[in-house]
Every structure is written in C-alpha cells, then in structure tokens.
Amino acid sequence: MRILLTGRNGQVGWELERALPALGEVVATDRSTLDLGDADAIRRVVRAARPDLIVNAAAYTAVDKAESEPDLATRINMAGPGILAEEAKRLDALLVHYSTDYVFDGVKRSPYVESDAPNPLSHYARTKLDGERAVAASGCRHLILRTSWVYGPRASNFYQIIRRKAEANEPMRMVDDQTSVPTTSAFVAQHTVDLIRKSASGLLHLVPSGQATRYEFAREVVQAAKSRSRIEPAKSAEFPAPARRPAYSAMSNARAARLLGAVIPDWRELLPMASS
C-alpha cells in the first residue's frame, strides 16, 4: 500500500509517520512540500504520489487566531480537505481525515455520539465541520475521526504547559467549567492504524474513555509529576478569548470500541505516554 501523509511535523502527524509504515510505504509531507491552502499544490502532490491511502493530519489549529484569519482557516480546514477528497475519489483511495469535539455547542451533558447534531461556536469549529462535510459530500471512501484535547511531547499544548509549571512547583489556576476527553497524539496515531486494518469507514469519535475538566486534567498531571504545585479552580470568564469553547464536549468512543473489538483505556492511563 502506498500512503500519502500530510502534516508530518504536527503532533499527530509525527506519530503517524512512525505508525503508518506498518501498513505500507509512506510519503510524508509538511507545509513546505504540501500547503493545504494551495489547491494546485494539493492536486500536484497527490497525482505524483498516486496513493492508495491519504491520511490528512494537517490542519489550521489556532482556535483563537482563526477569528481574525477566517479565510486562511477556511482554505486549510475546509477547501483543502475537499480537494484531497476529490483526488481520493479519482484514485479510489481511502481518505482519513481528523476533526474535533469543538463541532458541538456543549449544551448536552452526556457524551456526544456520532449521530448528535453539531452546532459549532467558533470560526475554527465551523471550518472543521465544513471540512467533514466536504469530505463526505465528495463520495470518496473516507474515515473521519473526531478527537479532542490532543496533546503530546512535541508541541506547546495544555499538557506541556501544566507539566512545566508542575516541574517548577508553580501555583496554577485552571478552569473547571470546560469538560472533554484529554487524548494523546500517540493514541490517535496507533488507533488510526488499527481502524484502517479493520476497514472502518464513515464518522467515528476517537478518544480515550472517561472525561475531565481542565482543572481535573491539570490535577492529574501535577500528581503524576509528584509536584508541590497548588491548583485552584477558576471559570472560563476569567480568561477571555476571541473564540468561544463548548462547556461540555466529551465524546463517546463506543462505536470505535466495537469496531476495534477492544476496551479503550481511560485517559488517565495514557498520561505517562505523553512524556515518552
């Protein structure tokens, strides 16, 4: 199998470049070799690679900045995946595409399932939902994986910020009114490979089991680091940001677990993996 991977230098892309060789030959691209905001470049790279599988780990992920760069976010998160999907259909290739829990508005108070109606609150979230819809509407073979609160060892993410503060024994204030599922980039990559092997298709929620507030997540990281940092709960309103986040966006992984034929571990069990 010949595999085209986009976004090789991102959190998930870096892990995928190491996991995907289990399935075949990988042609890995980054922004310098494939800019998802450039339609002609997408077509040129895909047609040169002639992949059997396209894994799109590239995305515009600056949630707040998207409010002031709406056109760029739309090109990368909606138009780009749509063109990848058109090319995948032309080649009869499978397209794996990643989306986000932020497509939901947080009104629900139990884990969202794939059939729940999305209602994004920010421009970033709207572009991710539009990307999902562009992929599905293309008619290509596809697997869309929604994930949440992705973190790992390679980027400045929420986990890394907390860990640095914990190692310095700094006090912290963390919001306790945003709930979702912390997810490691390694978890996403390995389970992507597993789902491809199972011939999964359509829309899936790919997250560990359980849920947490930002405050609870930080508390677990501090405890794992054996830090003396004190953490106080706070409200989102105390940290105003350009983009609205859903108060509750935990997703159910029941469908993914059934397809995998395995129990998916709780997010707490994956914490040590983030520093490996």
Q: Which of 202, 204, 188, 197 is nearest to 270 (CA)?
A: 188
Q: Is 98 a catalytic residue?
A: no
Q: Please count the CA atoms within 13 angstroms of the CA of 57 that sit on its side-chain side.
A: 28
Q: Which of 145, 239, 153 is nearest to 201 (CA)?
A: 145
| DSSP line for 11-44 | HHHHHHHHHGGGTSEEEE--TTT--TT-HHHHHH
| DSSP line for 115-156 | TSPP---SHHHHHHHHHHHHHHHTT-EEEEEEE-SEE-TTS-
Which residue in 60, 102, 124, 159 is the catalytic one? Answer: 124
Cβ(163)–Cβ(23) below 8 Å = no
Cβ(271)–Cβ(218) below 8 Å = no
Q: Which residues are catalytic?
A: 124
